[in-house]
A and B are shown apart, each in its own frame.
Chain A
C-alpha cells in the first residue's frame, strides 16, 4: 500500500495567518493516464471529512481560494492563507492513484 506521510502532526496559527501542510507519498502518484489523484480533506470537530482539493490543485465546488494545493510525484503541499476560525480541524491528504486508496495521518490545525 502507498504510505502517506503528513507533516507536521499539529500546527498553531493566528487568525489571519498563513500555514502550509506537507504530504509525502511512498510511491509516485502519477497514474498511467497522466493524472495525479492527490486530494485534501478537512474534518471539523464532530463532522465528516469534506473535500477541499482534488487532483493536486483543483479546488472543489464552493471552496475558498484561500486554499491552494501544489506538488507533483511524491511531494505535495496544502497552503491556507488568511486563516479563519472555520478552518480549524484536522486536515488529511489522500491518494486514489494506487489501489487501495490511502490517507495521511492528519494534521491538526489549532489557534495560537
Chain B
C-alpha cells in the first residue's frame, strides 16, 4: 500500500536548522510530485511548495522562499525539507503530500512532523 512516512518531532532553538524527511513506498517515486504543507497548531493548511521528483527541481510558494530547501534522495524514495535560521513562527506541523506535477490534488499524506521552535 502507498505510504509516506515522515521523520519524528523536532525541538529547536531560534536560529537553528532542521531537516525533515518523507519516505515514500508502494509506488514509483518519480511518477508523482512531492508537496509540502504547513499547519500551525489549531489552524488551517498552507501550501509551501513542491519538488519534481523526476528532475529534482523545487518550486517554493512566495512565503517560503529563502530559508526553505526541498531536496531528494531519489534512490531512497525520500524527499527532504530543510529549514534554516528557524523563527518562532516556524512552529508548526509540516506534512508531505503526494500530488501531481501540474494542476493537482493531494491523494496521500505523511503523518506530519511537528517542529517546535522555542528558546
Contacts and interface: CB of A to CB of B under 8 A. Distances in A.
A103 B109 contact: no
A101 interface: yes
B45 to A, nearest CB: 4
B45 A94 contact: yes
Nearest to A101: B47
A103 B61 CA distance: 14
Interface residues on B, range: 20 to 34
Interface in A41-59: 41, 47-51, 54-55
B112 A92 contact: no
Nearest to B111: A48
A100 B106 CA distance: 13
Nearest to B112: A48
Interface of B: 35, 44-47, 61-62, 95, 97, 99-100, 103-112
Which A-B residue pairs are the 9 nearest by beta carbons? A39-B105, A96-B104, A48-B109, A54-B105, A103-B45, A37-B103, A101-B47, A100-B61, A96-B103
